[in-house]
Every structure is written in C-alpha cells, then in structure tokens.
Amino acid sequence: MSKRRKNTIIIVLLALVIFIGYYAGLVNLLEQGLLKLFSPVQQQLYNWSLVLKKINNLGEILEENTYLKSELSKLVVDYVKLSNIESENEYLKKELDYLKENKYNYQIAGVIGGQPYQGQILFINKGSQDGLLENLAVTAGQGIIIGKVVSVLPRRSQVQLLTDPDSRLAASFSQQTGTQGLVRGKAGSSLIMEFVPQNLEIKEGDLVITSGLEENIPRGLLVGRVTEVNNLAGQIFQQVNILTPFNYQNFSTLTIIMPASDDINE
C-alpha cells in the first residue's frame, strides 16, 4: 500500500470518528432537552401513578379489613357459644352431683321467658306433664333457692322469684331449728326476713336457709347471707336484711326440687 493511500484511509477514519462523536453529542443534547422539557409532565404522571397505586392498595386493605372483621365476629360468636356451652355443662355437672348427694328428686328446666318490666316471674319449659306442682322450690347453683313454682300448665310453668315483694318463704338460720321468720322480696338481689323473734341472736354473715316446714320444700336450701340486723327496742320482732348470691336476671337453666314421694328420675 502506497503512503498516500494509507494517509487517505487515516483521514477518512478520523473524519468518521469526529462525525460520529458530533452526531452522538447532538443526540445527547436532544435527549437531554426532551427530558428537561417533559420532566415535569413525567414527574406528575409518576406522582399520579403512585396515588392510584395507593388508592388501589387502600381499597384492598379496606376489603381485607372488612373480611377480617367479619371473621373476627364469627370467632367471637363461636367463642361465646362454646364458653356458654362449657359453662352450662360445668353448671349441670355440679348441680347433678349436688342433687344426687342430697338424694333429691328433681327436674332440670330451661328458662324460656320472663315477665316484662317487673322481671319477677320466669317461664320454664316444664309443666304438669313432667310432674310439676305449684309451690315447689326452684333452685340454681347447688341448692340455692331462687323462687317457687306458682302456676303450672301441661308443658310450661311460671316461677315467682324470691325478690318479688309478694313472695313469701318460711325460713330459718343455719344454726337454728324450726321456723324463725318469713322471707319476702325487696329490691334488686336483696331480701327481708320478717317476724324474727327478739330472743334470737343473729349477726351479720349468718346463713339463711329454708325451714322445711312448707310442704314439698326441704329444709336446708340456701336463701342468702345476713347483711344487717334491725333490732329496735320495744318491738316484738327483729328484721333481717339478706343478700342473695345471684343476679336474678341471668338464669338460663333452673332446677325444680320434686316431692320426695315421686320417683321421677328413676
């Protein structure tokens, strides 16, 4: 190759390199200009895309939150049902143990309603077809008397609670014998024992029980605990305030103590 031709090739290559470099620079400048021109628009579009993404995510979160709340509500309902079943089973077990230990004839009844507003009458799902009679003792929680059967139909009965001011129950004190007074309703879960002889020494904390002198109501069912003794000078009788162990509005299952002569549970 001649020296002249060689120089020509070198010049052409240098020109090509310069051209490419120049062209690339223009392209870069053009690209930078376009980017600078559309950068605010691009930024705005990007920002809007983030907002839309957040809105979409928020919708998914709200939907998931609604689902989780629904599932939580179901779990709470199931837990309450299970707890109620377990509590009722435990109650029935203890109640049956107590009844068998004391050799009582009995009927287990469910509470199906109550008297509106006054709340001193409960309706139960057992009646004369189950052997129920009027004036039978109704208990809850291992021998704690809460009322009497006052009306009997074939398949249901009415129970008058001890807290009813019109109720009356012959009662005694656990350390005494015979009948020492009559228990009647007062207010809330309080009772009053009236016609208690002045010569009886009664103190706060003493237990009040059924006297056993009423037909078909055995002695020893717990009525409540003495909270106050009103012994006024010159009075023939003293009056005793009694606190019962229960909230009388929360019963779901009750026990009716049946007459000893009826082998209902044999």
Give the CATH number, domain containing residue 228. Answer: 2.40.10.340
Q: Are residues 121 and 161 in the same domain?
A: yes
How many domains would you assign to the chain?
2
Tell me: do 87 and 148 sit in the same domain. no
Residues 35 and 119 in one domain: no
228/141 same-domain check: yes
Q: Would 172 be classed as within a structural domain?
A: yes
108: Cβ–Cβ under 8 A, 6 or more apart, which residues? 92, 95, 253, 254, 255, 256
Same domain, 119 and 93: no
**Burial of 244 (C-beta count, 10 Å sphere; 0-12/13-18/19+):** buried
Give the residue, 53 or 193, on which the prediction is more confident: 193
Residue span of the structural domain in which 40 resides:
1-101
Nearest partner of 146 among 258, 226, 259, 256, judged by Cα = 256
Mean pLDDT of the chain: 77
Global pTM value: 0.64
Separation between Cα atoms, residue 242 and residue 249, nearest integer Å: 18
In the predicted model, is pLDDT for residue 266 greater than 50? no
Judged against a pLDDT cut of 80, whether residue 26 lies above it is answered with: no
How far is the C-alpha of 57 from the C-alpha of 63, rounded, in Å?
10
**Confidence label for 28 from pLDDT (cuts 50, 70 and 90):** low
- What sections of 102-192 are H helices per DSSP? none
- Domain membership of residue 85 (yes or no) is yes
pLDDT bracket for residue 100 (50, 70, 90): confident
In the predicted model, what is the mean pLDDT of residues 49-72?
67
pLDDT bucket at 264, cuts 50 / 70 / 90: very low
